[in-house]
Amino acid sequence: MTRFLLTKRFVVLWAIAVGLYIFGWATKWTFDPRTAGAYWGGRFFSAQADAILNGRLWIDGKYLPGECYFSDGKCYGYYGIIPSIPRLALVPFLGIKASEMSAVFVALSAGAAMWGALDLCRRVLARVLPEGGGVASAYLALAAVVLGPGSVMVLLADPYMYHESILWSIAATMIGVNLFWRWWSERRTSQFVGATIAFVIAAGSRPTVMFVALVLALGVVVAAYRSRQLSLGVVASAAALGVLPILWVTGVLFAKFGTPLPNDDNYEGLSYIYVQYIISNNGRWQQFSPRYM
């Protein structure tokens, strides 16, 4: 049993178990994939997929209740387009409402996040404790519980666009870090390319994580410089890793709003009481301070 806990098979099986566990939470233990969020009935990602199939990015505001950013009188969401991509194949057959199935995608992304994180822990333990044994197994078992059923992912199980986009970004980020660790240890080009793609997906799911890869890219440049291995190829690769997620996010936002960032004055929820509270605490909507929230 001790040896099994340190295997790839355990990591995969545990990721599947956690995905099913989160699916149970997301569906309120009905295991009905049609379960919707508890607060709003929006179908944003499917509506956005339908919009993409029709050559546009704006949607009918009823699919994003209270959260539209208006541009030229049309409703857009600042959320990325990555969570809409899997739905491109579903919308033509199931329609917008039936193809949303956020509970399914929440579970899939939670399982993927679990695999990325736990496999990374397994690889780090193999480096730190190469002899394996009971200590390494105990560490991995603890990580499996803390990163899985004992983690914040349970709080994100409500199947709505906020939680789904967050979980997609977590999953892609963890897979990206996992692949980056492999590249750092093994120096395979495919690992570096895979990490870059994963970070683009993470940023394309939730724009707020677009700078994660930039930190790693700077680390690559610094490490190469200190080891006297800095070259044009290293700089170009690091630039791709750090800049592509940012370019993806700003490109999509520009396609939606004509600017790299949406205009907050056009946000439908600007009149919400809690939003007004944030504004009053910070002086201006664009500013953040220690009094935020």
pLDDT tens digits along 184-233: 989 899 999 999 999 999 999 999 899 999 999 999 999 888 888 888 98
Q: Which band of pLDDT confidence, cut at 50, 70 and 90, is reported for residue 284?
A: low
Strands of the chain, DSSP E: 69-71, 74-76
Question: Average pLDDT, stretch 176-181?
Answer: 96
pLDDT digit string, tens, across residues 136-172: 999 999 999 999 998 888 888 888 888 999 999 999 9
Compute the C-alpha angle 66/68/74, nearest 5°.
135
Which of 112-121, 255-264, 267-276 has the highest average model confidence (pLDDT)? 112-121
pLDDT at 104: 95
Cβ of 163: how many Cβ atoms within 10 Å? 21
Q: Do 112 and 175 form a contact (C-beta atoms < 8 A)?
A: yes
Q: What is the model's pLDDT at position 41?
A: 63
pLDDT on residue 1: 64
pLDDT given at position 152: 84
Model confidence over 4-58: pLDDT tens digits?
888 899 999 999 999 999 999 999 999 999 888 776 667 999 999 999 999 999 9
How confident is the model over 263-277, as pLDDT tens digits? 877 888 777 777 777
Total residues found in the chain within this entry = 293
Quick check: pTM over 0.75? yes
Neighbour-count burial of 93, counting CB atoms closer than 10 A to its CB (0-12 exposed, 13-18 middle, 19+ buried): exposed
Tokens standing for residue 159: 């199947």
Q: How far is CA 7 from the centre of its chain?
A: 26
Q: What is the pLDDT of residue 132?
A: 77
What is the DSSP secondary structure assignment for residue 151, as one 8-state letter? S
Q: What is the pLDDT of residue 293?
A: 47
